[in-house]
Amino acid sequence: MKFENYKSEICHELKRKGDIQFIVSYLKTDQVRKLYDQHMYLQCLYLLAMIDYLCRINDLPLCREYDDLRACKIRQTVYPASVEIMYKVLNDEKILSEARERSIPEFMQHNIVESEVRDIA
């Protein structure tokens, strides 16, 4: 649940700041590298994927300082809690495969399933 809370905070911050200000604020503070240095790899790669995704949809260049991290991947696929729960209740592999298919490519690159960065309460 810790990671779910982190994702929620990031998505709420995106909603508050907007795409460009979000990107600028995180690149200025080098938070991606700080998370990596603190061995918070899942949070690091989630934030990097978010920044890369926002850069792509806003036609902005990627920050080359993180090229080394773009090759990193979480060993086991990370699904949203809602998908995990549905899979455990229904025991249907199709739930996981459909979630992977809907996932934003920048997140899947790191083995993180994410499709709802803007649909938050």
| Rg from Cα positions in the chain | 14
What pLDDT does 116 receive?
87
Residue 40 maps to a domain? yes
Q: How many domains does the chain have?
A: 1
Two tokens at 30?
């080098």
Residue 121 maps to a domain? no
Render pLDDT for 5-45 as a digit per residue (tens, 0 to 9). Answer: 999 999 999 999 999 999 999 999 999 999 999 999 999 99
Burial class from Cβ neighbours inside 10 Å (0-12, 13-18, 19+) for residue 90 reads: exposed
What pLDDT does 72 receive?
97
Q: Is the pLDDT of residue 121 over 70?
A: no
User: What is the reported pTM?
Assistant: 0.94
Residue 113 maps to a domain? no
- State which residues form the domain around 23: 2-108
Residue 120 maps to a domain? no
- How far is it, in rounded angstroms, from Cα 23 to Cα 32? 11
Band of residue 119 on the pLDDT scale cut at 50, 70, 90 = confident
Residue 99 maps to a domain? yes
Render pLDDT for 93-117 as a digit per residue (tens, 0 to 9). Answer: 999 999 999 999 999 999 999 998 9
Task: Please report the sign of the dihedral spanned by the C-alpha atoms of residue 45, residue 78, residue 117, residue 102.
Answer: positive
